[in-house]
Chains A and B, each alone.
Chain A
């Protein structure tokens, strides 16, 4: 018999994977892995902000992450610094600032390990609601942004000439990533969230001939990884977040083995 907490973990993880699959596709298409990493790292600052302002953790992280998204866009336009320099500055600056701020509150006990690696087995019913309702909204927004964002990914110039508002799509997608990460931190943690965005998308590439099938495939791979990882963690008593990521990695490696068993094999990325 499966325990309640395990069922909740499974439902939470599956809900998350369905969203991180398609969002992760745009992360890899637009080369935003380090951008995602930056948003994730800055969530520690978000935790500090949430405690300082006495607001809900997810809200605190989302608010801080959105501010960081705007700082990235402004610095890119104004300062003429290379993007990865800006991201390195903000990712580690945000992480360090968060840790320093938190040290001013010795009375507040925070579980740093859970923040860094996630604590999916401690998911509450309320968390489930946040994940599934938030996830549905996130997917809705992504569907609405889909065509303009896809065209902007292929060519910003084309997108502008064809009145698709590329800047607006980019900013909205940045906020969407901030929201997804804010919800995901509790589940897989600051250090592992980008894995859940990148690995399923990279795995699904092999089987897809159009963007839409890759997005659906990434969601499926994510769901399989979450289920596989959680059952493995139960079986072998390993930490849940890392187990999920390892399961995703196993999926990726399996589909890349030169067995000729999978897919067309001619679409290699």
Chain B
């Protein structure tokens, strides 16, 4: 692995409950590069990214990760139970040990500094994604991973989000791994793209050509 390589996956596949979620995936993520994973609903994008992060065991292939590798992760959906009270600053602070000034800086980088310190439950979808992004960049990660950050965000919000992500990449030279179900949402930002086709379709395709 070169020193810029963060994750190098070769021919990985995941089998859950006797079913291949995806197979034969090759993916390399380098510092300073934006890699997007594209695919329809249920194509296995989330499972693939969780596998790359070591949250799911792969059934075949090899994954090499830089060591140490600090990751800033924005999961696909995060539902916080309403009985747990948490403000945006408290949630951001859960990312590690940070000074109040560092949290201010991260929140202003994503444009949430004007909001004060409201309860997380009052945020809109786009504001919540930006908060999660602030939390991720607070950790000054080597790799930024976002699972469908554009979900529940309107078109102008997506543009803002993409600009923010590219800004972080330019400033810190981190790698970015990003999932989208719609290639148009990420068309202008990726350096590399992996298209996941559901395994059933792939089988269909093979039997078509056979």
Contact = CB atoms under 8 A, between A and B. Distances in A.
B87 A209 contact: yes
Contacts, number: 60
Contact of B86 (A147, A157, A162, A210): A210
A52 interface: no
Nearest to A26: B84
Contacts of A254: none
Interface in B80-97: 80-87, 90-91, 94-96
Interface residues of A, number: 26
A29 B75 contact: no
B96 A162 contact: yes
A186 interface: no
B139 interface: yes
Describe A's contact surface by its main secondary structure: helix
B50 interface: yes
A158 interface: yes
A99 interface: no
A211 B80 CA distance: 12
Given A154-B94, A209-B119, A161 B55 contact: yes
Interface of A: 28-29, 31, 147, 150-151, 153-155, 157-158, 160-162, 201-202, 205, 208-211, 213-214, 267-269
Interface of B: 50, 53-55, 71, 73, 75, 78, 80-87, 90-91, 94-96, 119, 139, 145
Question: Would you list the 10 A-B pairs with minimal beta carbon distance, nearest first?
Answer: A269-B83, A161-B73, A29-B84, A208-B85, A269-B82, A210-B90, A151-B94, A161-B71, A28-B83, A209-B85
Given A154-B80, A161-B55, A211-B84, 18 more contacts: A29-B84, A150-B94, A151-B94, A154-B84, A154-B91, A155-B78, A157-B50, A157-B55, A157-B75, A161-B71, A161-B73, A162-B71, A162-B96, A202-B83, A210-B87, A211-B86, A268-B82, A269-B83
